């Protein structure tokens, strides 16, 4: 009965019936293709957010839609009580793409991070010999790993934490990029160090050169696992299959998500060492929808797209172009990031990021604000001409 609502009607229905944990811009989108979305009035918008990197391959990529459609006609869900014909190939192909040995499929990025934490603790008790109940995870300040109760327990963002306690114990926080502070936080009960190779929600923060290699060495010297949260940074976003690849560093476990589902459905996974993930035994961990046939079919199509290296190359080349163009703009104080992933800090502080995002919306560009900065992460299918369109819209807004 709501098929003929106006855009204003749709927003009113959301305000009446939806939890108010988001504050969307006032646009009602109905279609998407490539790097563009269209609203109910038929106006097109350049997407410079890409679903927080879940849409790395753009909206409705033909290969991903075809994989989903074909699987939809065959089998959608079995539960892990049975085998299905997409599961094994998905695990093998994802492991081969990422250079890892074992895969634990899940659904959301936060679920992948939670699963990695459970694996790390289990490994600490079973292999390292940490006393039962004493395992600790060292994390970075200004981290973002999801919204579950355990994950916000080690957030340093008051907005994410306040009002949600009591919190899960067993975490130590060290400032991001400070190897000495990290070294001081690691002790005999440390199971793992959990880091984002590039911090997304903190402002697309790239750590100091050599820091991630020092983290790897510290973990090796201390008998500690290195867990990399590559939910946003992974799968070509930064110009490499994994952001750690830029530093020539390998983690023991990776949390993957977002782009793994091709913008079609939630797909995530923990990938890494077989001797670490292998501590799990039947009955100790599970997920009804994790590794379902639809997810595996789409995930396999994503892996095929990444296996060519085309999207990694596009992100490297177009990312350099995007960041150079943004840095030239009057009114931009700083641009930081890697690949097609940038944080743009606006000079002066006169207008909020929300106001600038709203002004960009009026010019046909969709972007996300964070305080006085904008986060720019377009689909990797974007072209130079489309980048120019977005940058010129921002230039006009800042003029």
Residue 192's nearest CA partner among 213, 215, 219 is 219
197 vs 216: CA distance, rounded Å: 12
DSSP characters over 201-270: TTTSBPPPTTHHHHHHHHHHHHT-EEEEE-TTTTTTTTSSSSGGGGGT---SEEEE-GGGGTTTS--EEE
Angle between helices 310-327 and 384-398 (to 10 degrees): 30
258 is catalytic: yes
Pick the catalytic residue from 258, 289, 311, 369. Answer: 258
Residue 177's nearest CA partner among 143, 147, 146 is 143
CA 392 and chain centroid, separation: 27
Across the strands, what pairs with 346?
A: 332
Over its C-alpha atoms, the chain yields an Rg (Å, rounded) of 21
The DSSP symbol for 328 reads T
234 vs 213: CA distance, rounded Å: 18
Pick the catalytic residue from 87, 144, 154, 311. Answer: 144
- The tally of CA atoms less than 13 A away on the side-chain side of residue 144 is 16
226 is catalytic: no
CB 353 within 8 A of CB 23: no
- Count Cβ atoms below 10 Å from residue 301 Cβ, excluding itself: 22
Q: Which two tokens stand for residue 46?
A: 């350049």
Q: Which two tokens stand for residue 385?
A: 């001409």
82 is catalytic: no
Q: Which two tokens stand for residue 51?
A: 């679903």
231 vs 146: CA distance, rounded Å: 10
Pick the catalytic residue from 47, 229, 252, 369. Answer: 229
Q: Which two tokens stand for residue 387?
A: 């980048």
CA 213 and chain centroid, separation: 22
33 vs 127: CA distance, rounded Å: 48
Q: Please identify every residue annotated as catalytic.
A: 144, 229, 258
């Amino acid at each position: 009965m709501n098929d003929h609502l106006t855009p204003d009607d749709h927003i009113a229905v959301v305000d009446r019936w939806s939890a108010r944990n988001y504050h969307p811009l006032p646009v009602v989108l109905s279609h998407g293709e490539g790097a563009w979305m269209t609203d109910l009035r038929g106006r097109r918008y350049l997407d410079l957010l890409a679903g927080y990197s879940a849409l790395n391959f753009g909206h409705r990529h033909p290969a991903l839609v075809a994989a989903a459609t074909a699987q939809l006609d065959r089998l959608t869900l079995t539960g892990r009580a049975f085998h299905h014909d997409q599961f094994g190939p998905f695990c093998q192909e994802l492991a081969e793409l990422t250079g890892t040995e074992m895969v634990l499929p899940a659904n959301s990025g936060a679920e992948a991070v939670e699963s990695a934490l459970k694996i790390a603790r289990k490994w600490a008790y079973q292999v390292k010999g940490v006393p039962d109940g004493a395992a600790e995870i060292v994390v970075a300040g200004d981290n973002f790993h999801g919204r579950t109760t355990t994950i916000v327990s080690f957030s340093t963002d008051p907005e994410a934490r306040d009002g949600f306690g009591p919190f899960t114990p067993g975490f130590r926080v060290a400032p991001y990029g400070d190897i000495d502070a990290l070294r001081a936080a690691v002790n005999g009960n440390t199971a793992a160090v959990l880091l984002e190779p590039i911090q997304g929600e903190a402002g697309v923060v790239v750590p100091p050169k050599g820091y991630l290699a020092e983290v790897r060495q510290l973990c090796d010297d201390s008998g500690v696992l290195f867990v990399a949260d590559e939910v946003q940074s992974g799968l070509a976003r930064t110009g490499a299959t994994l952001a750690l690849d830029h530093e020539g560093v390998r983690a023991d476990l990776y949390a993957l998500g977002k782009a793994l589902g091709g913008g079609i459905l939630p797909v995530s996974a923990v990938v890494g060492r077989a001797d670490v993930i292998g501590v799990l035994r039947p009955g100790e961990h599970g997920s009804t929808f994790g590794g379902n046939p639809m997810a595996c079919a789409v995930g396999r199509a994503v892996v095929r797209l990444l296996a060519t290296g085309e999207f990694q190359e596009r992100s490297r080349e177009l990312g350099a172009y995007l960041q150079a163009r943004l840095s030239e703009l009057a009114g931009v104080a700083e641009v930081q990031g890697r690949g097609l992933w940038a944080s743009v800090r606006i000079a002066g502080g006169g207008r909020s990021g929300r106001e600038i995002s709203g002004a960009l919306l009026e010019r046909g560009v969709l972007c996300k604000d964070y305080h006085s900065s904008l986060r720019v992460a377009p689909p990797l299918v974007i072209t130079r001409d489309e980048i120019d369109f977005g940058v010129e819209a921002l230039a006009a807004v800042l003029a």
